[in-house]
Every structure is written in structure tokens, then in C-alpha cells.
Amino acid sequence: MAIRDWFITAPNVNQARPESSVDVAAALAPLNTMNTLSSYLLTPATATRDEAMAVPTIARARNIIAASIASIPLHIIDDNGEEIYPPRVINQPDKRVTGYSVYSFIVEDLLFYGVAYLQITEYYADTFRIRDCQRIAPDRVQIITNAMATEITGYRVDGQVVPNQGIGSLAVFNGIDEGILNRAGRTIKAAFALEKAATIYAQEPYPTMVLKSSGTALPADRIRALLDSWKTSRAQRSTAFLNADIELQSVGYDPKSLQLNEAREQVATELCRAIGLPAYFADANSGSSMTYSNANLARQSLFDFSLRNFARAIETRLSMPDFTPAGQQVRYDLDDYLRGSAKERAEVYEILNRIGAMTVEEIREEEDLIR
């Protein structure tokens, strides 16, 4: 009899589960942070995703971190160190879209909110392991806790309670903190305000101006027409002419007096610190640079200090029993990402071949030279 591979679209409560299966999603989860309560306890210190992505430094940092991790393939290794070809759900959780897209947003959710969610849409009938799922944005999810608010007992998606196991349940990816929208919300809001100020000064690059009439009081429609005419004229020429009964007064400061550029650069550096990304990757520090000679070391540093936390959160969650059988672990294949230059690889291959650790055929296969 062939191996059974039946797929179901709805849980069967009467069907016996194999003893080896574990309902990871159904287990009680500790409430480590208050980030998932943000929909109830939203404060001015919490920023939104729209505010964050409107700041160029955060947008660039997000794209660097998310794109780097999403581009690295995942593989499975057993207890003997042997590599096992992973099922499709590992590198492509949602069969409708690419795995690159799904994992980009999984990493973003971990960065912004400290938690990410996949909702199960299909699972294997014989093992009850996940076969297909879809990403759910954290701002659509609300938690249900016990009376002491110390453990999560369930979830709501868009206000509707979802099951704790089977189709519709959530596979939760937990990060290491509450996410930068909560942890660095004030800094993000400051950066967003500076971007708005820069936009205002770009549209009208002058201090706030007041046109004061020393004659008769003007009606509202005449005032609007005068201001519109003034704005249009300033966009066309810098020289202005005022009648004897109109006086120009300046209020506030110009961008130079406000040190707007310096403030934006300082906040950009602080955001890189909050994210954990070296400032030169986001071009947030004009005094630092990355050259070709240290590019490989920079890539290693990027993974060690910025990417590893997110990578481990994904690896360990995918290694749990509802995704992967016991005795197997999911790991990122970092060989291509961390590989050195052609010259460096050739030197390593030459040594390995000389001591008998690699054959010429293995070297050719490693370099994709075998067709």
C-alpha cells in the first residue's frame, strides 16, 4: 500500500491523532511582553508601521534585514548532520506566493512588532503537520489571556476567535523583544515629525511669514486670495512687492537655524542603534563607509549582529513538531551568503583538495560548475 498522503481542509475532531503528533499551536504560551496588547493599551509612545516606513532610515534598514534573510534558503538536517530535502512549506509557506515574499514580511513583523503569525490553511492527515499557511499581519491579531494575564490562551483575528489547533489556528513566531514600534516608538515619532518638517520647508523654504494689514480689515475670501497669490508668486520669483498697507513679518526659524539636517542625521543614527543595524548600512552616518576590501567581513558582521536574532526565531519555530519531525532541525544555508571572493574560495579549495578533504568533482559541484 502506498504511503498515505491525504490532505484535509477542515479538522476532524473524531479522528484519532497519532501519539507522536504535538499540537504546538494549542499549547499555552507565556505572555513575555505587552506588545500584543497594544490594540488595547495604545499610547503616544507606540508608533505605527506607516509612520516607521515613512522614515527613509527605517525603510532602508527594514529592506536590508528582511531581504537578506528572505533570500537565504532553508534546509533540514538530522541528528547525524545529514541534510534532508525540506518539504515545500519550509521554503514556501504559502503556495499562492513566493517564500521570499512571505519571509520578508515575517522578518518585518518580528522587527516591528516582536511577533509574527502564520495561519494554518492545510495540514497532513496522517501526521497533522502543517502543509500550507498564510501570513497574518500582527495588527489584525488580538490575544486572549488567562485571568492573571500571564499566559496566552487563545487568539482573535479581525475580532473573530480562531481555533487553537487545526485549520485556522496560528503558528506564532516570537522575537526577542516587543518590537521597535513599541520599544523605540518615541524615536520613530520624532523622525516622522522631522520628515514632515522637512517636507513643509521644501514646499515653502522660508520661516513662517505673516502678512499684516495696516489698513481696513479684509474679508475671509480676500485674505485667502491674497495668501494664494503670495504663494504662487514666491514659487515663480524671489522678489516681492507689497502695498503700503501690507507689512511682512517673519515668525519662527529657518531650517538652518533649526539645524534640521543635523537633527535628522542624529535621529537616523539613534534609529540604527534601536534596530541593531550598523549605521553605514543605512547611510545614516556620513562619517563611515564600507569599502570593497571589507565587504565580506561586513556581511559577516551584518549577520552576527543584525540578522541572527531574526534567523534563529524562524529556525527554531520551524523546527517545532508541527512543522518538522523529531530528530530534525531547520537551519539557514549560509554557504552562499557568507562565501568569500573567488580568490579566497580557490585558496580554500586548493588546501582542502591537497589534504584529501574534497575532490575536484566536489569542488566543481560546490561552485555549480557541473551541468
Q: Give the DSSP letter of residue 358.
A: S
Beta strands in the chain (DSSP E): 7-8, 29-30, 74-78, 83-84, 115-124, 130-136, 141-145, 151-157, 160-162, 170-174, 208-213, 246-251, 328-332
Q: Is residue 238 domain-shared with residue 264, that is, in the same domain?
A: no
Q: Is 161 helix (H, G, I), strand (E, B) or coil?
A: strand
Q: How confident is the model at residue 15 (pLDDT cuts 50, 70, 90)?
A: very low
For the stretch 263-314, pLDDT in tens is 778 888 889 898 988 888 877 665 555 554 456 677 778 888 889 999 999 9
For the stretch 39-93, pLDDT in tens is 444 445 689 999 999 999 999 999 999 999 999 999 999 988 888 889 999 999 9
Q: Is residue 196 domain-shared with residue 147, that is, in the same domain?
A: yes
Q: Is residue 243 domain-shared with residue 259, that is, in the same domain?
A: no
Q: Is residue 348 domain-shared with residue 224, that is, in the same domain?
A: no
Considering only residues 184 and 286, tell me which one the structure prediction assigns the higher pLDDT: 184
CA-to-CA separations, 290 to 1, 69, 341, 344, in angstroms, rounded = 60, 20, 16, 19
Q: Is residue 110 domain-shared with residue 188, that is, in the same domain?
A: yes
Q: Is residue 346 domain-shared with residue 335, that is, in the same domain?
A: no
Q: Is residue 360 domain-shared with residue 273, that is, in the same domain?
A: no
Q: Is residue 221 domain-shared with residue 157, that is, in the same domain?
A: no
Owning domain of residue 240: 208-251
CA-to-CA separations, 357 to 39, 264, 338, 350, 354, in angstroms, rounded = 56, 53, 20, 10, 8
For the stretch 328-358, pLDDT in tens is 999 998 877 766 666 667 777 778 788 888 8
Cβ atoms of 117 and 2 closer than 8 Å: no
